[in-house]
Amino acid sequence: MADPRRDLTLLDLPPHLIASIDGLVSEAIRSHLPKAIDEALHQQGFSNEVAGLIHLLAARANDSKDATLEKALTLYGLALDAREKGNRLAILNQEDQIIHDVVGFDAVPV
């Protein structure tokens, strides 16, 4: 016969018990998750510099590290596509004037 305690979820707990552990769980996640993410990045071969840059950009964008890295890689892919088509990569102002040429992505001769 199956142990009935194994089928319990947090939703089965009394609300006052959930409320009493809510702050503890939130604090545990807040304090341990960033370290766990950094450790995972290092295990995947990312240097401290790259892990720190991902953390900084995610904080600036108020986004997750995963989403930040995905967006950065998408932008990098677009830059490579532009270069392969012989185009330049630049930042334009609101009047469509070039205010910054992005170096390192010069057009490849076709």
Task: Tell me the per-residue pLDDT of 54-74, one tens digit each, with 9 for 90 and over.
Answer: 889 999 999 988 899 899 999
Residue 71 lies in a domain: yes
**Structural domain that includes position 75:** 12-101
Residue 89 lies in a domain: yes
Q: Model confidence at 2, in pLDDT bands (50, 70, 90)?
A: low
Q: Model confidence at 107, in pLDDT bands (50, 70, 90)?
A: low
Residue 6 lies in a domain: no
| Joined tokens for residue 69 | 């890295």
**Structural domains counted in the chain:** 1
Residue 1 lies in a domain: no
Query: What is the spatial distance between Cα 105 and Cα 110, in angstroms, rounded to a whole number?
Result: 14
Residue 110 lies in a domain: no
Q: Who wins on pLDDT, 55 or 20?
A: 55
Give the distance from CA 37 to its chain's centroid.
10
